[in-house]
A and B are shown apart, each in its own frame.
Chain A
Amino acid sequence: MNKVKVATVWLDGCSGCHMSFLDMDERLVALAEKIEVVYSPLVDHKEFPEQVDVAIVEGAVSTDEDLEKIQLIRQRSKLLVSLGDCAITANVPSMRNPFSVKDVMERAYMENATNQWQIPRQMIPKLLDRVRPIQEVVPVDVFIPGCPPSADTIHFCLTELLQGRIPNVANLTRFGA
């Protein structure tokens, strides 16, 4: 049997959702018989593969790099799963939205710096005017709210998806859970 190709992606978030993913503990061993993790911060592949069955995305769309990534991911994935509040509501990263990018950069790199104040102009991705949840940028198939969603919730969702069903998580998790 061909294994289901799963990718996990980390955009603008704290990686708490990935931690929750790892919290599935020994259930990951059982899952590994059915899925192959083809791309993830947890494995070593550098390029997002051409064809992925399920892409699980943590974090909001915050930079020009995030925007490019999520568009490529959408193109190459059969099913796109928004994992956690940052992906779904832009959550904590969105708290910079009422301020201008210029103000945010000055706050971070000038006002709060103790020496060598300068705003970086290369190497780091450019901030977008506003942090956006994924569904405002590309279509999303499955939403799993929570900050982070529990390991049990993620396990339930993966199990449902593996059986060809779209999981209904309303009873298991919510914004801020």
Chain B
Amino acid sequence: MSASVRIKTLKIDGMDVSARGNESVLQVARENGIFIPSLCYVDGLKPVGACRLCLIEVAGINKLLPACTTEVWEGMVVSTDSERLRKYRRLILELIFSERNHVCSVCVSNNYCELQSLAQKLGMTHISVPYRYPSKKVDASHERFVMDHNRCIVCTRCVRVCDEIEGAHTWDLMGRGIDTRVISDLNQAWGESDSCTSCGKCVQVCPTGALYEKGKSSSEMKKEIEFLPYLTALREGKR
């Protein structure tokens, strides 16, 4: 943070809070213990507003804004919880569950999955849209890791950590809309990737069981995401 950053004051859910001028609403909310659900946001990576779960209402603006990519401004009045927001968030979560094959009971990340725990936190006991049950591939060509597209929510955490932190940019996206999928290099098998350094950061930041360590069985893949803010802070300090 440079010395020129101004402190701004705003209201979140009726509470007066202050923030550094370049902070997002999501960051400020979390600093103040206000819960806003999110899946694609992760502390230490650039926000992209992909999952849309952190949508908020801002006074004077008709459309909903993603809290992770919306910077605070002076006098902003934010609402993080309303009937309308709960409805949208619930539907977004239902669509995520319906789009791929999330079979929690036999998933490597059962009990450690951010999608699973968020569903419970938002009180979801079933989904009301039809499941699509798509045919998705599992790429087990890498020596140490597996990519299971059945569990991928296309949050792009893996893409960003590989690009921003590891500097390899092995992962990227291909296709559009519902056909969007994560690919390694130029849509090659992960095990044949020239750029992958096998660092495993993508595996650790993945919120679901889409990326996991080979050999892990059902309910065994606990992710260790804590390294990320330290690594980011360390690098920023060096700049």
Contact = CB atoms under 8 A, between A and B. Distances in A.
B184 interface: no
Contacts of A89: 97, 102-104, 126-127, 131
B106 interface: yes
Contacts of B124: 170
A159 B70 CA distance: 46
Interface string B77-118: 000000000000000000001000111111100110100110
B216 interface: no
B62 interface: no
Contacts of A136: 130-131
Interface residues of B, number: 27
A140 B128 CA distance: 11
Contact of A143 (B101, B103, B110, B126): B126
Contacts of B131: 89-90, 94, 97, 132-133, 136
Interface stretch (B133-141, B170-178, B192-200): B133-141
B2 interface: no
B108 to A, nearest CB: 11
A88 B136 contact: no
A174 B101 contact: no
Contacts of B104: 85, 89, 147, 174-176
Contacts of A130: 133
B125 A176 contact: no
A130 B104 CA distance: 19
B4 interface: no
A135 B101 contact: no
B225 interface: no
Given A135-B128, A174-B116, A175-B116, A92 B134 contact: no
7 contacts: A85-B105, A89-B126, A89-B131, A97-B133, A98-B134, A168-B123, A176-B107
- Of all A-B residue pairs in the complex, the 10 with the closest CB atoms, nearest first, are A176-B104, A147-B105, A97-B133, A98-B135, A174-B120, A143-B125, A170-B123, A175-B104, A143-B126, A176-B110
Interface of B: 97, 101-107, 110-111, 113, 116-117, 119-120, 123-128, 130-131, 133-136
Given A175-B120, A176-B111, 12 more contacts: A85-B104, A85-B105, A88-B125, A88-B126, A89-B102, A94-B101, A94-B133, A132-B131, A133-B126, A136-B131, A174-B116, A174-B117
